[in-house]
Structure 1
Amino acid sequence: MLLSGLSWLIAFQIVGTLIGAGLGLAVPGPIIGLVLLLAYLMRTGDVSAALESAGGQLLRYMPLLLVPAAVGIMAHVQVIARQLWPLLATLVLSLLPALLFAGWLMQWLVRRQTRGEG
């Protein structure tokens, strides 16, 4: 079951990569695949046991994926310190649209649920 779920996740990633490369989009293929997976899950309205199993297993190992990023920050702390203000400005300016979208999406989902659609 785990292998089936991982196969589905990889398939969505590959399709996203092909779409991104084929259309020349600046969005990474795995992100496009993630949006396609979200659309698929919203369309079916259910998460299969295989996808749930694969997602659960991947989440167990999520901290291991963060270790290289932390090491990179520690190794390049001088470069980051020199560019601190531009980095902070970029982070804040990119966080605001994400927060606005998350708030809008939450309101939309709550309205949808209260109407009995979800």
Structure 2
Amino acid sequence: MQVLRGLTELVIFQLVGALISSSILTAVPGPIIGLVVLLVFLCVRGELSPPVEQAAGWLLRCMPLLLVPAAVGVMAWYSVIQQMGWALLLVLGISLVPTLIVTGLLMQALVERNQRGGR
């Protein structure tokens, strides 16, 4: 029952993101805005509720099933991907570097904060 409550909370944040996307920020997808709203909410609150934590754990365990459609799409569109392979690799490489840098810096900051005894 806790998982359903947590999933409901997550869907509400996605719905809020979709509403913001459709009315204000039409260029940004609703689920992305919902994730940002959830992040801000969790930062302000300072903790993760047990239902959301259980729902997130359940979703992580189901992650391989969620990746199957992407793998099927790659196989179905192989000829298009093959034609644009270098462009795709370039875009992925360009987007990967800043993501790795930001993730590394964030991880270092959180580890230092944890070692100092912060939350």
TM-score interval for Structure 1 and Structure 2 normalised by the shorter chain: 0.7 to 0.9
- The residue that corresponds to 2:40 in the other structure is 39
Q: For 1:89 and 1:55, how far apart are their aligned partners in 2?
A: 32
- The number of residues matched between the two structures is 118
- The residue that corresponds to 1:64 in the other structure is 65
Q: For 1:52 and 1:24, how far apart are their aligned partners in 2?
A: 29
- The residue that corresponds to 2:6 in the other structure is 5
Aligned AA (2:76): A
| Structure 2 portions without partners, runs of 5+ | none
Aligned AA (1:75): A
**Shift of the alpha carbon at 1:82?**
0.7
- The residue that corresponds to 2:19 in the other structure is 18
Structure 1 segments (4+ residues) deviating >6 Å: none
**Shift of the alpha carbon at 1:25?**
4.2
Q: For 1:117 and 1:27, how far apart are their aligned partners in 2?
A: 34
- The residue that corresponds to 1:105 in the other structure is 106
**Shift of the alpha carbon at 1:117?**
2.9
If the length of structure 2 is used for normalisation, what is the TM-score?
0.87
SS in 1 for 2:80: helix
CA RMSD of aligned residues (A): 1.6
Deviations 1:79-114 (A, max 9, x none): 111111101001001111111211221232233334
| Structure 1 portions without partners, runs of 5+ | none
**Shift of the alpha carbon at 1:23?**
1.6
**Shift of the alpha carbon at 1:67?**
0.7
Residue 25 to residue 98, structure 1, CA distance change in 2 (3 Å)? farther
